[in-house]
Structure 1
Amino acid sequence: MTSIDDLGTDRLRDHVAAQLTRSRARSAALTDAVDEHDLVRQHSKLMSPLVWDFAHIGNQEELWLVRDVGGREPVRSDIDELYDAFKHSRSSRPELPLLGPAEARRYVAEVRDKVFDVLETTRFEGRRLLDGGFAFGMIVQHEQQHDETMLATHQLRVGAPVLDAPPPPPGSPLPVSEVLVPGGYFTMGTSTEAWALDNERPAHQARTDPFFIDTAPVTNARYAAFIDAGGYTDERWWSEAGWAHVQQAKLVAPRFWERVGAEWYRDRFGVVAPVVPDEPVVHVSFHEAEAYAKWAGKRLPTEVEWEKAARFDPATGRSRRYPWGDEEPTELHANLGQRHLQPAPVGAYPAGASALGVHQLIGDVWEWTSSDFHGYTGFEVFPYAEYSQVFFGPEYKVLRGGSFGADPAAVRSTFRNWDYPIRRQIFAGFRCARDAEAAELS
């Protein structure tokens, strides 16, 4: 495998240009799919109007690549505050004097033209921000992350379906339901991945006791059994905060599920159809995942356990970039990049299994862990505190692995996502873990 550091200036420049172009094509597809009314309206108070996300993508690109890296004059400094995510809550953004759809498209196009000019003359050295093209990689990932956010907004949108994609590959039975992960140390995080973000760094030694982890994410069928067993009405399975939220929000099933007679249906991007039994459950909160795990006699994995299951190769003792090895993900490895608009059935990606035999750790659904979000020992803010550091603390739970709506450029085995434990609009599911008993290790 050729790493970014080995590409050389010309090949790195070509790689950056291709990633920028691919990301913008996705942003355009998500915004061109709806009319102007849908672009400017707020489909949920949890989300920004699509037109805000689109212009925000351009504004971040202007701030970092045009002004900082390129040292160019501002394109639209007058709108910086409007598109500062920390100045205005999502619920208040529709009230701002935002750029209209046509103006936003002109703005992001002008910024992108200037970025390509900057790219032609940039030397990928001399500043940490430029090493390995980091600033460009950061912006690629930022756009892809907002594309996933816009995809979640499409899921909340009411109206005729506007998105389409082929179904994922079929699943296949897995030989075992859980896998033993040996105890001991492994290398967690990274100090070498060129485009890794600050919260993934630095690489360090982390330790686990032996534990079992589910071979695949929890499926709709298994989660439906929890519902049918009275899971949402039995306080025993819930934490104090989880039970209070279930009562207050009147939760009875994953978001976008509805029971019709004896069968569960789900609304996916405007298409209502029966729930697919062997697909990973999606649109569940941390509280729901935690309650299911307790009901099943298990628990959620810690973030350390999740990464060890994903990366540790017992044959070599090293940590892989991805569960399957060091090569970039392909359509044989994982369900990523909005290619299928839904999780793939369990067993659909045998080539993506980890060295320990754990499947679908990357793609399909973000996976809740039991860990709070914090920096690793030796964490350094780079290049700005508002990306990670301001979110550190017990209010946020860590998610791992990426969803079908996450892009390969923004997903790897060290990548860390986080959100409030009540959030359900995100493409999140989970798998369970449990402690290994002494008799099981002999």
Structure 2
Amino acid sequence: MNVSFRTASAPELMTALQDARRDTLALIEAFLAAGFGTGVQLAARPEFNPPLWELGHVAWFAEWYVLRDARSSDPTAAHRTSMLTKGDDWFDPNTVAHRMRWKLELPSAGALKTYCHEVLDRVLDKLSRAGGDDNSLYPYRLVLAYEDMRRELMLEQLQALGIALPPELPAQAIPNWAQGEIDFPGGTIQLGSAPDTGFVFDNEKWAHACRVPAFTIDSALVTNAQYAEFVADGGYQNPQFWSVNGRAWLMLQDRSAPRDWIRDGRHWLCDRFGRHIVLPGHEPVRHVGLYEAQAYCVWTGRRLPTEAEWEYAAMSGHPALRWGDLWEWTCSPFEPYPGFEPDAYREYSEPHFISHQSVRGASVMTRQRMRSLKFRRFCLPGRDNMFIGFRTCVL
């Protein structure tokens, strides 16, 4: 399915929901084959969940919003009880703190797979009788988007743990794109999504006029070869390139290069799902946090683009501008648009305003149906396990 999930019809959603569940199960099998399931073998990490908890939670989320007709994520909002006796006790993120997910006595992998199949079957049956308008399809589009987003999080976890990709999900190569700069004259854009355009995340509401001054931006992301020059010039050892918070982060990491780089004599290797390969100089540098991106920008005398500049450039349709290979850091804190109100999934955006940074674009691990120039991802500044890079900008 190459059409956007935001405007997908009921038949398209039926196909996509089955496709998403196949990927989820393939990823879970990869964790199980590597000896990771409940998370007991893993150190509790705030960016990840135990794989079996992730499996049950994805199905529970679909059950909550579709089969139980919940109008919000309030723990009392569902009209029916869970198909699992302790489903809410296990999988409701509002009542199960992250640290507790690693200690739960969950059902077996087989029992959770059965639960997933049963939920999906009932969701598809209900969808077959649903109306075709945006309101009727909203919960189905929501759970599809959610499962696709959890898919990318699980791929990030596979990479972080050095687990090979399942054969159903082969790695996507990134071509060698021409490097250059693009000058934009500036102007007023409509930042955010407009009503009556299908599914819209709450943090995109609503489109509003935003003035963008003239600026110059890289046509492509900073490459490994470019970033290697910063590393070779002592970029990680020179405190003048790093912000106060960046220096504090760097001291805790004890790092002299991006997290997946491995020194091999005078050369660099990198980790790709447990395989060590020669660092591809032409590819965008990945798995770098905000502080690393900022330090590189200081070293070059440039800066990260604002969220508005990124959207202006991406929406321009300029033929030389390349986006979608990796998520991209911006220099903008993640903030609500004017008149923000949380949607049914209340915790999606609001708890992360200001503390998180706006991230735009998509990555080679993002499903095609999820890609949108309006999509706003958000991350803590120190997070570097994502498939994320950056481009630079200057006034």
**TM above 0.5:** yes
Partner of 1:424: 384
- The alpha-carbon distance between structure 1 residues 402 and 89, as it changes in their structure 2 partners (threshold 3 A), is farther
Deviations, residues 374-393 of structure 1 (Å, cap 9, x unaligned): 11012221123211112112
Partner of 1:225: 229
Partner of 1:316: none
Aligned pairs (5 A) from 1:355-434: 355=318, 357-359=320-322, 361-362=323-324, 364-393=325-354, 395-434=355-394
Report if aligned partners of 1:199, 1:376 keep a CA contact under 8 Å in 2: yes
* Overall identity of the aligned pairs, in %: 32
Report if aligned partners of 1:66, 1:74 keep a CA contact under 8 Å in 2: no
Which AA in structure 1 matches 2:10? Answer: R
Aligned length: 381
Partner of 2:86: 78
Which AA in structure 2 matches 1:179? Answer: I
- The alpha-carbon distance between structure 1 residues 72 and 121, as it changes in their structure 2 partners (threshold 3 A), is farther
The two structures have a TM-score, normalised by structure 2, of 0.90
Q: 2:187 aligns with which of 159, 184, 189?
A: 184
Q: Quote the offset at 1:28 in angstroms.
A: 1.5
Q: Is residue 256 of structure 1 aligned with residue 269 of structure 2? A: no
- The alpha-carbon distance between structure 1 residues 169 and 422, as it changes in their structure 2 partners (threshold 3 A), is closer
Q: Quote the offset at 1:424 in angstroms.
A: 0.9
Q: Is residue 114 of structure 1 aligned with residue 102 of structure 2? A: no
Q: Quote the offset at 1:162 in angstroms.
A: 5.0
Which AA in structure 1 matches 2:19? Answer: R
Report if aligned partners of 1:43, 1:156 keep a CA contact under 8 Å in 2: no
- The alpha-carbon distance between structure 1 residues 295 and 89, as it changes in their structure 2 partners (threshold 3 A), is farther
- The alpha-carbon distance between structure 1 residues 132 and 277, as it changes in their structure 2 partners (threshold 3 A), is farther
Aligned pairs (5 A) from 1:26-105: 26-35=23-32, 37-41=35-39, 42-46=41-45, 47-68=48-69, 74-76=82-84, 78-105=86-113
Report if aligned partners of 1:178, 1:214 keep a CA contact under 8 Å in 2: yes
* Segment of structure 1 superposing worse, 40-49 or 272-281: 40-49
- The alpha-carbon distance between structure 1 residues 185 and 225, as it changes in their structure 2 partners (threshold 3 A), is same
CA–CA distance in 1 between the matches of 2:245 and 2:218?
25
Q: Quote the offset at 1:252 in angstroms.
A: 1.1
CA–CA distance in 2 between the matches of 1:268 and 1:355?
31
Gaps of 5+ in 1: 313-353, 436-442
CA–CA distance in 2 between the matches of 1:157 and 1:285?
18
Report if aligned partners of 1:34, 1:162 keep a CA contact under 8 Å in 2: no
Partner of 1:350: none
Report if aligned partners of 1:366, 1:402 keep a CA contact under 8 Å in 2: yes
- The alpha-carbon distance between structure 1 residues 420 and 73, as it changes in their structure 2 partners (threshold 3 A), is closer
Partner of 1:346: none
Report if aligned partners of 1:286, 1:422 keep a CA contact under 8 Å in 2: yes
- The alpha-carbon distance between structure 1 residues 3 and 252, as it changes in their structure 2 partners (threshold 3 A), is closer
CA–CA distance in 2 between the matches of 1:244 and 1:276?
30
Partner of 2:315: 311
CA–CA distance in 2 between the matches of 1:411 and 1:206?
22
Q: Quote the offset at 1:161 in angstroms.
A: 6.4
CA–CA distance in 1 between the matches of 2:7 and 2:365?
29
Deviations, residues 101-128 of structure 1 (Å, cap 9, x unaligned): 1111011111111111211222245xxx
SS state at 1:284 partner:
coil
CA–CA distance in 2 between the matches of 1:147 and 1:161?
12
Deviations, residues 110-167 of structure 1 (Å, cap 9, x unaligned): 1111111211222245xxxx52612111110100110111111111224666556265
Report if aligned partners of 1:181, 1:356 keep a CA contact under 8 Å in 2: no
Partner of 1:323: none
Partner of 1:286: 290
Partner of 2:74: none
RMSD: 2.4
CA–CA distance in 2 between the matches of 1:300 and 1:160?
33
Partner of 2:176: 171
CA–CA distance in 2 between the matches of 1:154 and 1:217?
24
SS state at 1:236 partner:
helix
Q: Quote the offset at 1:281 in angstroms.
A: 0.6
Which AA in structure 1 matches 2:14? Answer: A
CA–CA distance in 2 between the matches of 1:50 and 1:6?
30
Report if aligned partners of 1:132, 1:194 keep a CA contact under 8 Å in 2: no
